Amino acid sequence: MGKVGMKLIESGLRHDGRKLDELRPISMSVGVLKNANGSALVEYGRTKVIAAVYGPREPQTRYMLLPNRAVIRCRYHMASFSTHDRKSPTLSRREIELSKVVREALEPVVLSELYPRTSIDIFIEVINADGGTRTASVTAASLALADAGIPMKDLVAGVAVGKVDGFLVLDVDELEDMYGEADMPVAMAPSLRQITLLQLNGVLTPDEFTQAFELAKKGIEAIYSVERETLKKKYLDVKVED
């Protein structure tokens, strides 16, 4: 059972009818903001995230310049209306922390050395939160970077695996996150076989950790495929219009 005795899995199905290894419905689109160099909207079920990328450009404060690469800056923010209770519009400590987490998940794949003495700015807005916002944000930011034409070694996709009622489940939602026993967000650059984000809240045995990671890889491969198809569709549509 969950932390407070709430049963979320019965007869092998989760509270929303999904199987243990089933993702929520995934939806993605790019080029959703006119004034950004690149943008993306990503939906994991009812979790909705918009990411916008500006740059490479000269930063407003010159002390931030690096002679050998671009500075990647990231701001993760949850809209006041994104949660059940109205959230303060100012950045919280958690949002500052997750801004750093998302940035560090993307830095390994961005070819920032091609743009010395510039900044690449990523703005992430969670417009509806229902669990998995950090992993959806990593996916959205990766798509927005690609949409902006920023050279990258690979796309990054993320998903969270949880332990709920003693079972490992893929792509936890808010209820499972709140009442589950563990939550493990993972992000990867699949074609590079590189992990760019791995966190664990709660406790898993070594065997459970291995199984959870394999489950995360399965989900990430599926999400990565949707990312690639989303980008491909944009340029196929452009070609058809021409």
Q: Which domain holds residue 159?
A: 9-241
Average pLDDT, integer, range 164-172? 97
The answer to whether residue 91 sits within a structural domain is yes
Q: How far apart are CA 43 and CA 241, in angstroms?
A: 27
Q: Does residue 1 carry a pLDDT above 70?
A: no
Compute, in degrees rounded to 10, the torsion defined by CA atoms 199, 202, 208, 214: -30
Q: Is the pLDDT score of 240 beyond 60?
A: no
Q: Residue 231: inside a domain, yes or no? A: yes
- 214 located within any domain: yes
**Residue 213 belongs to a domain:** yes
Judge whether 182 lies within some domain: yes
Whether residue 45 is contained in a domain is answered as yes
> Is residue 3 situated within a structural domain?
no
CATH number of the domain where residue 194 is located: 3.30.230.70
pLDDT in tens, 52-83: 999 999 877 777 788 899 999 999 999 988 87
Counted domains in the chain: 1
Whether 192 is covered by a domain: the verdict is yes
Provide Rg for the chain, Cα atoms: 18
